[in-house]
Amino acid sequence: MTKETLWTVAITATFFFCLCFSTLKAETPSCHGAYDLYFVLDRSGSVSTDWDQIYDFVKNLTERFVSPNMRVSFIVFSSKAEIVLKLTGDRAKINEGLKYLNAVKPAGETYMHEGIKQATAQMKEQLKKSSSIIVALTDGKLEPYIHKLTKDEADEARTFGARVYCVGVKDFDEEQLADVADTREQVFPVKGGFQALKGIVNSILKQSCTEILTVEPSSVCVNQSFDIVLRGNGFTLGRQTEGVVCSFIVDGATNKVKPSKVKNDYVLCPAPVLYSVGQQMEVLISLNSGTSYISSTFTITASTCSDGTVVAIVFLVLFALLALALMWWFWPLCCTIVIKDPPPQRPPPPPPVRWGEKGSTEEGARLEKAKNAVVSIQEETEEPMIKKSPTSPHTYHQSESKWYTPIRGRLQALWALLRRQYDRVSLMRPTTADKVSHRRTQIVDSHLKKNDRR
């Protein structure tokens, strides 16, 4: 292969690689919701050979939550639970926690309730209630007593606003996990082994992500009631849609309102009235009757608004002026009747001519020729030609171009066009020689009939 061919192949390969990479990046879903995300991971001896796949699953899912307000905690359990990473939103600490998580050596029993208990303990320490998500992963069946303890701990976590999701791999009991999770839809079975864990990341993200993408309107009128529309995803992911609550924070005071309509991609809520210009209102939403809230960066601001009366009056005045101008312009075309004087009567026919002898009329033959008649013809005199003085050639002075010369030229052209159109219409206007009458057409007809009789 020649050198040019190698360069062509290299450039083509690079182009297709960049295209595939950009397409893959554009299609990767993410979540912009602000959550406290707790990973409760099984590190019992049964997962000792598959811990790398568990680590990749946690790392991939963590990177999909992209909100700057998102916080993460890593908890592992076997015979007892251990917090690998305490709840934090520091990205540097999260990356450091992932390194510690990758170095975990699995061993022991499967006591899931111990891991959920550690997550609940961290929720109790938080001064501000926030929306929490617990993702619990296990690969085996729970003993009946351990199953009951795990279910109780999950219920305890839900009282603090947490949503519980369960991931089962290999030899798990789906019914047990359905009791622990909020609903059966929040159980993600992975029957293809740990290698298939990466295939459920998008499903977990779709089921767990509740995010507010837009709030409409962003500006409202003072002293007027209004409804707001929160658009996003996952508003029906709670146990019951009756638990959805809109919260509005105005000047430090919180107003809780039940929404009038709840769909998966939007929520419609009546909002409180704002009474001063510039007053702002923060919008929050809860899926668990106000136990915890999903925050957003959207605020609503009050501003002065006109009721539209002034604008309507201005438009009415302009419309009236336009109507008057059109009536004045087209009045001679539609509403003026021009009646001209009747044509003059035909003159009477001339009397008949009676011819006599020698080609003359009888009256002419009776005339006698005048005696000694002299006919004089006046000679024309030639007028002397007067030489014209040579005219001096005209001198043209080129006017100096100003900055407004092009504008004046365009305005003059526009005025000439309007003037020409006006002259065309004015030709149809009645002149002073015409008798203009605004009577009905019946009078015109009767007048014409009288002329015909004459």
Residue corresponding to tokens 């035909």: 346
How many whole angstroms separate alpha carbon 445 and alpha carbon 314?
A: 45
Q: State both tokens at 449.
A: 């009939």
- Was 203 annotated as part of a binding site? no
Contacts of 60 (CB under 8 A, 6+ apart): 198, 201
Tell me which DSSP letter residue 440 carries. Answer: -
Q: How far apart are CA 297 and CA 283, in angstroms?
A: 8
Q: Is 22 annotated as a binding residue?
A: no
Q: How far is residue 238's CA from residue 289's CA, in Å, rounded to a whole number?
A: 10
CB 180 within 8 A of CB 151: yes
> Tokens for 417?
């066009």
Q: DSSP label at 361?
A: B
The answer to whether 204 and 166 are in contact (CB under 8 A) is no
Residues forming a β-bridge with 233: 211
* Strand order, beta sheet including 187-190: 81-88, 71-77, 36-42, 132-138, 162-169, 187-190
Contact criterion met (CB below 8 Å) for 197 and 190: yes
End-to-end CA separation in angstroms for the chain: 111
Q: Say if residue 110 carries a ligand binding annotation.
A: yes
Contact 147, 185 (CB under 8 A): no
Tokens of 24: 């893959």
Q: Which residues are annotated as a binding site?
A: 44, 46, 110
Q: Which residues are annotated as a binding site for a divalent metal cation?
A: 44, 46, 110
